[in-house]
Structure 1
Amino acid sequence: MKILLTYFALIALLSCKNEHQLSNSQPNIIFILADDMSYYDLSCLGQNQFTTPNIDKMYNGGLFFSEAYSAAPECAPSRGTLMEGKHLGHSRIRLNRSARMQDHLMDDDITVAEMLKKAGYKTGFVGKWGIGLPGTEGTPDKQGFDYAFGYYDQLRAHTFYPYYLMENGKQVAIPENYGFDMAKCYAHTNSEEGLNVYNEDGQLLPNGIKEPFKAKNSQDLIHEKALEFITENKDEPLFLYYATQLPHGPCITPDLGEYKDKPWGMKHKEWAAMMTHLDRHVGDLVDLTEELGIAENTIFIFSSDNGYAHCGYMGRKHWEDDPLFKNKGPWKGGKFASFDGGVRIPMLAYCPGTIPHGTTNHQVVLYDFMATACDLAGVEAPENDGISFVPLLNGTPEKQEDHEYLYWGGGTFTPRSQAVRMGDWFGMRNNPSDSLQLWNLKNDIGSGKNIANENPEVVNRILEIMKEAHIDSDWYQNPEDTAKDMKAKTDSAKEAGLMQVPVRANSTYPGKIE
């Protein structure tokens, strides 16, 4: 009941007019994408077991989108659609895996970084990329970013103590982390809680590392590079895509901090500490723009990459709410499936003294970012599926264009599924042979009662959208594809030498694989 009350309180339109609209035609843009962060992992939205004061500050001084969606229910396609501005019926990356394994963007794909670079921006990426392995044309340094640092391979991004990171296409060795036992870290998260070791002060003693206090946490290294990029480019328009690993599992943190003595299980302590780690770094980014005198010309957008995933790290069934943190929310499903709960995310925009403060229930989706960023930069956007939400940022909601519909297709658990949100309606089917399930989210936020039989006209329109929105992919499973079809695609990829095999975290020392 508490969650429902919090949600319905949010959907009231509270926005007030801002004192002055975006005055600079090319403001700095910093997009912070959290990884597997749950909707109610933020204390500004009701989390009461731990706090996120820096993100709360942005929430309290910025614009919150209470009806925001990811463009996909899992990591890689969410990131691909964000960069391309296309939904899952049109985008290059549609699942975490294709017939040729971890797939990538191509040379002819146009990213938001390429568009902003064309507009005169300095473009930077730090963190988890996941849409182009080293050696492919899909790496960030080949997709419009002047500077790129972090994980190109999303499987390697599972470790916070890697043997190397990538910088502008080259490996940067981290010998301080050699020996880190990633297998034990996985086992700790999946079942055997207690395998991660912390001293009496709550500091991590990473398994397998000879000198544990010299170990380098990748989030800290990535964050340092982000601060450097902002500082070095403060005098010209900049775009920073800050795709943090946090709080994606496996659960581990350099310091349990204030949670070390909590009467919780270790993984709950770690999750709270990971969220605190993220919140601290968000605060650093905002503080730096204030110190550099560029805060009022810097737009922050903060969001997450997919719906509820937290339970997968706690040994429970998928989509089951956490009994302690209660961070799932009322929505049906979660990560890996195109139910409302698989794509429902928190999102806010912040620019002190410029973006209006309050809440809007206008429906936005991460693939709107291409259109919005191009609008802010004063450059015409390429063909895309998004709608610029700059009118909302300017405090002129009456000028904001609405989506006719939002479209999703696929998910690791339901690769042949399709889903559509159209106004208050949400329709979804797992396979083309299945009947459409239909819910009215205004009256049934948890998608509890299928009312398809009572609304045949709505059902027919959504089925039309599903047909018109999807263009078949050569490598991903299309709604009509059978297991036999997918095997043929995989065999074709192998014969053509097109398999892109991801590297398991810390499976090798630098120079051995990539």
Structure 2
Amino acid sequence: MRKAGSAVFGFKFPKLGFIAGVLFLNALSVFSQQKPNVVIIYADDLGYGDLSCYGSKIIKTPNIDAVAKSGIRFTNAHSTSPTCTPSRFALMTGIYPWRQTGTGILPGDAKLIIPANHITLPKVFKKAGYYTALVGKWHLGLGDSVNKNWNGEIKPGPNEVGFDYSFIFPATADRVPTVFLENHYVIASDTNDRILVNYRKKVGNDPTGKENPELLKVKADPNQGHNNTIVNGIGRIGFMSGGYKARWVDEELTYTFVDKAGEVIKSHKKQPFLLCYNAIEPHVPRMPATQFKGKSGLGYRGDAILQLDWAVGQIVKYLRENKLEQNTLIIISSDNGPVLNDGYLDGASESYHGEQLGGLRGGKYSLLEGGTRLPFIVSWPGKLKSGVSDAMFSQVDLLASFAAMFDQAVPRNEAVDSENHLDALLGRNKSGRALLIEGNTKDKLAIVKGDWKYIPPGNGPALDKLVNIETGNSRDPQLFNLKTDPAERNNLARKYPEKVRELDQLLQAKLR
């Protein structure tokens, strides 16, 4: 076992007599109620420049801004990867996703990719006596095979990797099956109306976006595959039939998830809890509730960000109403950078002109900073000094950092990439990580050491034309000084060949 770090909640005492032991246990009982509740709000495809507290001039996010004002706003925090499944895998396991095969963007029928017998972020909290709950998007697979009985018990899943309670949808809102799962079962499933899911061929007789485009209420980009089974007037990736009572309505998704989050908060206010609220915004298909449609002036993407801000406000309201706000640590971040046209022609490309990146290059799918540098806000009223931190922090470090908070040892050879940066997370110092690797797969990685970032030469286009995003690909080595050039405009590889060799050797050593 390896120690995660120095304790915040751990004690070491000499042997106690009987009376002293009783007094200690009573004190420990009171102390356990003082452990902070932790709420992690994980947005989907939210960019570094998408919030007004990060400088956006085109949209206001007052509820998120209020959380940032009371806490720490990080300027150099990262997901491990520029796409969702790999980033979520790393956050949960403390492992870079490129170390394990099968961690790419998953279809909706994928099997669970998290080893159920290894340490995970929620297991750290469970060991510390927390109730653990997950509400929202999952996208890390379910069951032990692709073939599943969607009308029966579906496991392993979130409950087997550390959550006492889960209310999720399986993958993303643009993928089938478009159903809710509560713990191991699809809500409102009916054995007389079997749910069938297939990502290779059509099942059932439901119309598809390709065959019946006149039925769509938002047009699909014909080149990106969002033209299979139509649910709620939206073409999805993959084919589905049955489960008509179980299918969700996109406009009601966030209301449903926020209500479930509120139930968790209200029913567990006497026990410390971890609540992971995995938001759906602003991932496609953007179909916000009527309350938000047209309110941003930026199309459905901007409206979805307003909806996200409302959801954050509601969660804070639930905490306040249950007198938990002062003893709750809130983290707000995103799984990867932004994208405008990601399968649906919903007006985002016409409404935004780079503002979503906050001055960075790249975005979702990219090795440039816009792919992984994200909003990251930490608030714990009365416990953290508010301000701004430029410490380099990665979401992969949450596991080891919280393990350190609870004085837990991390099992040897597990969570191998998670580092204890609790002091940076809580604003006690601004040193953070010294080294960070970004990317999805071994052949597409970047490495950051201090102010320097190196992207090895590689094949592939410099621009992903499907989504109009710079990928970071180049046949030449790329070296950037992120302190002076966070937008990565000035390639310094020829000027500093020794730095290129140093970082390339470091990266190759990590890959061995």
Deviations 1:372-415, CA, capped at 9 Å, x for gaps: 22223332234432333332354421xx653221012336xxx7
Is residue 167 of structure 1 aligned with residue 182 of structure 2? yes
Is residue 233 of structure 1 aligned with residue 268 of structure 2? yes
CA 280–33 in structure 1, closer or farther in 2 if over 3 Å, else same? same
Conserved? CA contact 1:164–1:171, under 8 Å = yes
Aligned to 2:157: 139
2:418 pairs, out of 371, 374, 386, with 386
What is the 5 A alignment of 1:252-263?
252-255=287-290, 257=292, 259=294
Conserved? CA contact 2:80–2:439, under 8 Å = no
Deviations 1:350-387, CA, capped at 9 Å, x for gaps: 11111110101000011011112222333223443233
Aligned to 1:504: none
1:148 pairs, out of 166, 171, 177, with 166
Aligned to 1:60: 69
Structure 2: which amino acid aligns with 1:295? Answer: E
Structure 1 residue ranges, 4+ long, deviating more than 4 angstroms after superposition: 22-25, 100-103, 135-138, 178-182, 184-187, 212-216, 313-318, 432-435
What is the 5 A alignment of 1:400-411?
402-410=432-440
Aligned to 1:438: 479
* Range moving further from structure 2, 52-61 or 106-115: 106-115
Aligned to 1:487: none
Structure 1: which amino acid aligns with 2:79? Answer: S
Aligned to 1:122: 131
CA 311–322 in structure 1, closer or farther in 2 if over 3 Å, else same? farther
**Larger fraction in helix:** 1
SS of corresponding position for 2:355: coil
2:219 pairs, out of 151, 176, 188, with 188
CA 255–334 in structure 1, closer or farther in 2 if over 3 Å, else same? same
CA distance in 2, matches of 1:317, 1:429: 35
Aligned to 2:446: 419
Is residue 245 of structure 1 aligned with residue 280 of structure 2? yes
Aligned to 1:396: 428
Conserved? CA contact 1:296–1:353, under 8 Å = yes
Equivalent residue pairs, number: 420
SS of corresponding position for 1:421: strand
1:158 pairs, out of 167, 174, 177, with 174
Aligned to 1:74: 83
Gaps of 5+ in 1: 1-21, 193-204, 472-514
Structure 2: which amino acid aligns with 1:243? Answer: N
Gaps of 5+ in 2: 1-30, 146-154, 196-204, 210-214, 224-230, 235-243, 460-473
Conserved? CA contact 1:163–1:174, under 8 Å = no
Aligned to 1:450: 491
Conserved? CA contact 2:221–2:343, under 8 Å = yes
Structure 1: which amino acid aligns with 2:161? Answer: Q
Alpha-carbon shift at residue 317 of structure 1 (Å): 13
Conserved? CA contact 1:355–1:393, under 8 Å = no
Aligned to 2:391: 362
CA 438–109 in structure 1, closer or farther in 2 if over 3 Å, else same? same
SS of corresponding position for 1:443: coil
Structure 2: which amino acid aligns with 1:58? Answer: V
CA distance in 2, matches of 1:186, 1:325: 26
What is the 5 A alignment of 1:191-210?
207=233
Structure 2: which amino acid aligns with 1:56? Answer: D
CA distance in 2, matches of 1:224, 1:356: 31
Aligned to 1:305: 335
Aligned to 1:200: none
Aligned to 2:12: none
2:360 pairs, out of 320, 331, 336, with 331
CA distance in 2, matches of 1:247, 1:83: 21
CA distance in 1, matches of 2:232, 2:347: 28
Structure 1: which amino acid aligns with 2:163? Answer: F
Structure 2: which amino acid aligns with 1:330? Answer: G
| TM-score (norm. length: structure 2) | 0.73
CA 372–186 in structure 1, closer or farther in 2 if over 3 Å, else same? farther
Conserved? CA contact 1:44–1:52, under 8 Å = yes
Alpha-carbon shift at residue 158 of structure 1 (Å): 2.2
Aligned to 2:259: 224
CA 347–186 in structure 1, closer or farther in 2 if over 3 Å, else same? farther
Aligned to 2:314: 284
Conserved? CA contact 1:255–1:273, under 8 Å = no
CA 443–324 in structure 1, closer or farther in 2 if over 3 Å, else same? closer
CA distance in 1, matches of 2:397, 2:334: 14
CA distance in 1, matches of 2:452, 2:128: 38
SS of corresponding position for 1:242: strand
CA distance in 2, matches of 1:460, 1:371: 30
CA 394–109 in structure 1, closer or farther in 2 if over 3 Å, else same? closer
CA distance in 2, matches of 1:215, 1:317: 18
CA distance in 2, matches of 1:68, 1:102: 30
CA distance in 2, matches of 1:360, 1:129: 29
Deviations 1:486-508, CA, capped at 9 Å, x for gaps: xxxxxxxxxxxxxxxxxxxxxxx
Alpha-carbon shift at residue 453 of structure 1 (Å): 2.1
Structure 1: which amino acid aligns with 2:400? Answer: A
CA 258–186 in structure 1, closer or farther in 2 if over 3 Å, else same? closer
Alpha-carbon shift at residue 314 of structure 1 (Å): 6.9
